[in-house]
Structure 1
């Protein structure tokens, strides 16, 4: 039971942040005036009359670049706890991180060879 008391601040943080998020999402629904009109539901086009559909198709290249950015950005996060515990973990951690980095480099080289980083062809 004594070890669970260490989690009380985390639970408090989650409850407070969830409460603030709930209030921020629900307060406008109850406090703001709601008068929908046809003009308000039109897509915003800088005051111009909309021509054609509001949604345009983006090339897949945008999504590929975003996906690669997120992939490599999230993987970099794993370096921080490893760097903090490197002395305690010793050689095993260094070997596992070398394996992790080699897998990342293989993925990076694969994406590079496939032309994922070229903006235009």
Structure 2
């Protein structure tokens, strides 16, 4: 019970100190220059709906697919501690072969080519 009271006291004290310090800080007076967006050479008043290349979307989907593959295979080194490590490595190999075949298919179909 003493630990709970200590944590609550520290939390409330820290919150009050931060609230009081925020009133002592100077007020920010932004001007029009600071409120305007950074343009970077683009027309800020133009249409925000610009055509998007489907190639970028396909590469992003492929990246997510193979990133997910790596995330699923990360616990593989601990698979030998299971009661059936051969089965674990068999299924991991099957997933790798399936995804490699998918990558080869994308490559053959030209999904990874930028120039047409």
For CA contacts below 8 A with separation 6 or more, give which structure has more relative contact order: 1
**Equivalent in the alignment of 2:67:** 73
How far off is 1:115 after superposition?
1.0
Size of the aligned set, in residue pairs, is 91
Q: Which structure 1 segments of 5+ residues have no match?
A: 1-32, 34-39
Cα distance in 2 between the residues matched to 1:79 and 1:48: 42
The counterpart of 2:55, out of the listed 47, 55, 61, is 61
Q: Which structure 2 segments of 5+ residues have no match?
A: 1-27, 29-34
CA RMSD of aligned residues (A): 3.4
Instruction: State TM-score, norm by structure 2.
Output: 0.58
Deviations 1:90-112 (A, max 9, x none): 21112111211111111111111
1:112 aligns with 2:91: no
